[in-house]
A and B are shown apart, each in its own frame.
Chain A
């Protein structure tokens, strides 16, 4: 048996750190050598009674002073924000030389004291409107009901959105993890902060694992090939020549990122504020541009293919279509509605096809889409309109909470659908957090190898390398499920794995 750790027995290496000193910046070199053997004990030395004494301290005056000096345009937003959400006065604003946008840290440090902090790069505000942020700005435009072309040069709106988004992260952390109403004054902040940070980081990891490809993979050509089957589960398919567009991977990834719960909470917080204070950012209908930086919104905005994905109308999304107009005759009456999951990525010139699940042979399909537009309603909802080549016009509604259900399948169906058997190369990705022992959190861990035997119910899956050497194994398979296009199996030890063929 090889010494390589298997997926079922991830070792929590519990080596004690000899030093009792807290980590200092100068210790980083040592970290390089010792990071893999650090003990959870060390966390206790990083969040202490001494360095959390000021965690709830009010930073209102310091923040206002900083904004007055560096970004007076944001003073009013900040004042409104802390008036509406007083708990956010504990968040310290910091002027830091960071790469782009802004950043919320639950463990920011100043003068030896931990605090919730938002870093902003006031000395290089152009980074807020980085041309590389096109997909982000397009998504912001969709959420605000504005044109991308109008907001991409609008520093006031973008910087406001960026600041609000980070305060959205701060509010999420404070309200949903620190829970001051339950904990403040009842439990020591050091204890509350440790638990909150641990839970927040785990949830972020869960979120990141919903991305098409784990973030530590820098997608080179070989990796794209390796993850081809996984990318297909996100509707990213090779073109006729077998090439997978890196642009499409970026767009789909950008959308998946904004759909992560931690990001969508922050986005919603920002959008809700801007819509509530819309008169400060948008011109009213019929109002002339007064050069105040306010922009037009509302009305019908035409969409490009990338906007369709970025708006969340993507493969596997549950949507409802409602016929609202028809040029000429049709057997389908105005007002007819259909709900289902979008099968494949919708694009201009292609049909919109709805299915109940990928095994279900029944479907609803329109003729190819001629154009699509979006319009924000006064209540903040966005409606999408699609006109087909045959003259039908549909309203498209994104159904937020409906996801494809896991469907129980046999191992043989899994093998057949994925085309895997003995010798096939696969990636096995752990999908759940196993609590037990020292809480071996292994979600997202991947292992690649060839199947030693064809997967069977009641038997473990064992992987070997090209030379037949043992790579790793699971315990016995007890259940198989398919969720949309992905296949997962559960093992005797309550672990759940996604299995992805690489060829």
Chain B
């Protein structure tokens, strides 16, 4: 299963505000293809997606 860009953006929304700018930077940089953006975003999200508060 591959994440869609939309699903990844929903995950970015949950990040601490202080860490969002570089994700926006990648999303806004159209020198990257969609698969490249996914790769770069997942690389970062794997490390910092929020801890479950359950």
Contacts and interface: CB of A to CB of B under 8 A. Distances in A.
A18 interface: no
A14 B28 CA distance: 11
A120 B51 CA distance: 13
A215 B25 contact: no
A60 interface: no
Contact of A197 (B6, B20, B25): B25
A440 B10 CA distance: 26
A28 B25 contact: no
A288 interface: no
A145 interface: no
Q: How large is the interface on B (under 10, 10 to 19, 20 to 34, 35 or more residues)?
A: 35 or more
A125 to B, nearest CB: 12
Interface string A445-467: 11000000000000000000000
A305 interface: no
B16 A40 contact: no
Interface stretch (A198-206, A229-237, A292-300, A479-487): A198-206
Given A28-B12, A98-B50, A23 B24 contact: yes
Interface string B30-54: 1111111111101110111111000
A42 B10 CA distance: 20
Q: Per DSSP, are chain B's interface residues mostly helix, strand or loop, or mixed?
A: helix
Nearest to B41: A216
Given A35-B5, A208-B40, A100 B21 contact: no
Nearest to A42: B28
B30 to A, nearest CB: 6
A32 interface: yes
Given A32-B9, A119-B16, A445-B33, A216 B24 contact: no
Nearest to A110: B18
Contacts of A36: 5, 34
A368 to B, nearest CB: 37
Interface in A1-22: 10, 12-14
A218 interface: yes
Contacts of B1: 218, 220
A354 B18 CA distance: 49
A208 B39 contact: yes
Contacts of A105: 18-19, 21-22
A94 B18 contact: yes
A215 B42 contact: yes
A350 B2 CA distance: 36
Contacts of B32: 205, 441
A429 B9 CA distance: 25
B40 A119 contact: no
A208 B43 CA distance: 8
Contacts of B13: 25, 28
A124 B35 contact: no
A160 interface: no
A121 B26 CA distance: 24
Nearest to B13: A28
Contacts of B12: 28
A124 B7 CA distance: 26
Interface string A369-384: 0000000000000000
B34 A444 contact: no
Contacts of B20: 25, 109
B32 to A, nearest CB: 6
Contacts of B31: 12, 40, 438-441
Contacts of A201: 25-26, 29, 40
A104 to B, nearest CB: 10
B35 to A, nearest CB: 6
Nearest to A207: B43
A217 to B, nearest CB: 6
Nearest to A214: B39
A103 interface: yes
Contacts of A39: 28, 30
A215 B39 contact: yes
Contacts of B34: 36
Interface in A213-231: 214-218, 220
A96 interface: yes
Contacts of B2: 216-218
A121 B28 contact: no
B36 A119 contact: no
